[in-house]
Chain A
Amino acid sequence: MKKTKQLFAALTLMVLGLGSAQADYTLDLMRGVTVISNEVYDLHILILWICIFIGIAVFGTMFYSIYYHRKSMGHKAEQFHENTTVEIIWTIIPTIILVGMAIPATKTMLDMDDSREAEMSIKVTGWQWKWEYEYMDNGIHFFSSLDEASNEARQKNSGIDPRSVPHYLLNVDKPLVVPVNTKIRFLFTAADVIHSWWVPDLGWKKDTVPGFINESWTDIKEVGTYRGQCAELCGKDHGFMPIVVIAKEKADYDAWVEEQKTLAIAEANAADKEWAVDELIAKGETVYANNCASCHMADGAGMPGTFPAISGSAVVTGDMDSQVDLMMNGKGMMPAFGQMLSAVDFAAVSTFIRNGLGNSVGDSIQPSAIQTLQPASTEEDDDE
């Protein structure tokens, strides 16, 4: 019944051609919240109108002809053809129009390219299928992936109505926080395959290419939350790695930075304490759901031929050290989780997969043991 209603609504919409059942629904490019995004929007509108104008002229002529120059109206065909004057005119006029478009386009292009005098830099690394953010100026560093509510709802036949999930597929566990009225330089790279970082409100997208650094910049003018997605096909969960940028007033941003620093210390302390096995397993289950289940499946069955099963896996039920080594450094499509997970999360999920998902090895590993194995924090390498 509901579907029929939706269908009906959709059809009505189609007839009307505008209006909407969804509140935040748009037909056009968004203006965005930066000077550049506004320039881009204006260019888009300018060219759209030029096209509409040409379209009216061409189609108008054509439909006039289709209506009046019909055999059924008794119109006799004239046999004229080849007219050099006409042909020169219809080559020159488009050329002039194109030059008219190229001038403002070049100006915007040059503005977008100029990332000089940035006040802060953020390095963005694309992973299958999450984003890594590193604030180059204050050492804040975290991963950002699809939020849990969307992740549950997006499973095949989950039974959860996407409309009931706030910001379905456009929400993350940990958003990127930036100050407004600050020229921010972004550096883009990727850890595995090519991704593309796109927040429409900023007016551009940029590919993240493994082994190369791309650059772009923004200067957000309005406080707010801006959402985007990965725009370059990057594997099966390409549709599930959104971007959320929260732009705050400078003072609020500074407060957030302090808060992050306190959290980092707390996290380091948590790694030093002795964890009970049950605690680790309980925490590990969540870590598994967020990081591992998209390939190895929620029940650990994997996907034959592509992603090996966890349940009954020789690696997981075998020697702890080789399992930890594989998770730490990755292999083939398996990402290196060494720098992606905190020591606590790493120890928790290592313990969980040995004692859950049909496995019962019975042993566990402490976060402190993981810490000694983890690669040095990546911040040092970025000073080049």
Chain B
Amino acid sequence: MSAVTAEHDDHHDHGPAKGILRWIVTTNHKDIGTLYLVFALTMFFVGGSMALIIRAELFEPGMQFVDPQFFNSMTTMHALVMVFGAVMPAFVGLANWMIPMMIGAPDMALPRMNNMSFWMLVAGILLLASTLFMEGGAPAAGWTLYPPLVLQTGTALPFAIFSVHLLGISSIMGAINIIATIFNMRAPAMTLMKMPLFVWTWLITAFLLIAIMPVFAGAVTMLLTDRFFDTSFFDAAGGGDPVLYQHIFWFFGHPEVYVMILPTFGVASTIIPVFARKPLFGYASMVYATAAIAFLSFIVWAHHMFTVGMPIAGELYFMYATMLIAIPTGVKIFNWTATMWKGSMTFEAPMLFSIAFVVLFTLGGFTGLMMAIAPVDFQYHDTYFIVAHFHYTLVPASIFILMAAGYYWLPKWTGNMYDERLAQLHFWLSAISVNILFFPQHFLGLAGMPRRIPDYAVQFADWNMISSIGAFIYGPSQLIFVYIVYKTIKGGTGEKVTDEVWEGASKHGLEWTLPSPPPYHTFTTPPEKVPTEHF
């Protein structure tokens, strides 16, 4: 590539293109990072609106607003949009903005591919969203797209499958770019074991993505041929097996959940030391724990399928393997706690969201451990207990950390300070309502309410109503974040921030040695020294 474009890149220091074209043709990592983040935030509200439709229908027993089929489309689309449209792109956006600035690189290694992977993501999500308006409705078989049910989807099926292909290609290109950047573009002083944990976790995540996205693409392609070309991969009548799909899907699906949580760990490990004014307790063990979790994520997939009828040896193996995950995850939680211990903590919005993440993610970890116990999972499986579990590991974990990252780096990105009082309001509203929203779902699941049902028996009425109330507080309070971001871009509190922004931050990351906001091109010559605080 460099041979083709070298000549063009020879004239220096031109800023961004003018007008809308700047955003369409940009190859600048900061611009592409911004595009990803804005897109992810938009999708967060699209997926969130779907969740609110679900919670509105579940507010009371009886069917009030939607038909069961549309309800199923909502649960399906909510998950797909949140996973592929909000959480993953948001972390890719952070990676784009921060990885070059954290490792002392001028840009991503493959800037044009970077642009392409963003626009392919937009195309993929638009294709997915278009299925909402098709005959027969959007996919309604759950985000896991299990056959044979998913083969009953109407016109939408091939569109959803091609959308998965596009999203997969986009993710793979993004992952290749991140790996190439980290391996090739680090400042000479930035050895692997000096990289910030956010960079480390993304490096490992990128390898996960490259390993799993083709698997998912393969699985949905088999669905496509089963439906249209008379194959029978998943049809027993033709010698296939519907459960085979589940094995393939979860071989993708389980590492996929770590794709969403490992960068979350990385951001938390970046923020907590800064606000505790202490080095991270165990840098090396954090790196190894991340790698261990990533490895384990490939060998535990069938714990999503304990009730599917596996032989006893399979049940026991997947139970033991799953329980092992608790060990490296525990190492991480103990590390964050030890980092706070005897620090000198302050509680600005990034720290508040990070602490809430540690606490609430741990709750999600506990329920995860409970569900690892196969014989008990026969009760928990496919109930609201699991809904509560994975929402605890995604909303007050990944989403909270994304908010923390927003507040943490926004002053660096814009050069302006956000409104701390509003941010604190945003935090407290979110932290309280997210628990009103998801905690009662533990009770519902234990009491026997299956997931993915549009209506329920009356003994589930009280907690469902409370959960819905939580949702109606949590959802709208996220608009505060949009307002704060908008205000900050427009000048914020008026106070100009320093390069360091947070007290002592420049000891923790290279990005804090750059001006706020950073110029369009940074580290065109690599920095000579790198921070060593986290050792």
Contact = CB atoms under 8 A, between A and B. Distances in A.
Given A13-B466, A236-B68, A65 B374 contact: no
Contacts of A24: 459
A231 B375 contact: no
8 closest Cβ pairs, A-B complex: A211-B236, A239-B453, A305-B135, A214-B309, A204-B378, A77-B344, A51-B366, A162-B61
Contact of A154 (B62, B241, B452): B62
B436 to A, nearest CB: 7
Given A61-B337, A62-B358, A105-B374, A154 B63 contact: yes
Contacts of A204: 307, 375, 378-379
Nearest to B67: A156
B475 interface: no
The secondary structure that dominates the B interface is: helix
A10 B462 contact: yes
B152 A235 contact: yes
Interface range, B side: 35 or more
Contact of B152 (A155, A193, A305): A193
Interface stretch (A25-33, A262-270, A345-353, A360-368): A25-33
A255 interface: no
B149 A193 contact: yes
The secondary structure that dominates the A interface is: mixed
Interface in B89-146: 135-137, 140-142, 146
A10 B466 contact: yes
Contacts of B355: 62, 66
Contacts of A118: none
Interface stretch (B194-202, B203-211, B326-334, B399-407): B326-334
B63 A6 contact: no
23 contacts: A7-B469, A10-B466, A25-B447, A48-B370, A59-B359, A59-B362, A62-B358, A65-B340, A75-B342, A79-B279, A94-B326, A98-B323, A109-B374, A157-B63, A163-B458, A193-B152, A196-B382, A205-B307, A209-B242, A211-B236, A231-B383, A233-B149, A238-B452
B340 A69 contact: yes
A69 B351 CA distance: 14
B381 interface: yes
Interface string B58-91: 0011111011110010000000000000000000
A198 B333 CA distance: 35
Given A77-B278, A200-B379, A306-B137, A69 B327 contact: no
A302 to B, nearest CB: 12
A198 B450 contact: yes
B62 A158 contact: yes
Contact of B458 (A109, A162, A233, A234): A162
A108 B330 CA distance: 26
A54 B367 CA distance: 13
Nearest to B341: A65
A109 B381 contact: no
Contacts of B277: 71, 77
Nearest to B355: A66
Interface range, A side: 35 or more
B413 interface: no
Contact of B282 (A87, A112, A205, A333): A87
B284 A22 contact: no
A194 B146 contact: yes
B3 interface: no
Interface in A127-176: 153-158, 160-163, 167-170
A62 B361 CA distance: 14
Given A58-B333, A87-B282, A232-B382, A212 B243 contact: yes
A79 to B, nearest CB: 6
Interface stretch (A36-44, A284-292, A310-318, A323-331): A36-44
Interface in A187-229: 188, 192-194, 196, 198, 200, 203-207, 209-212, 214-215, 228-229
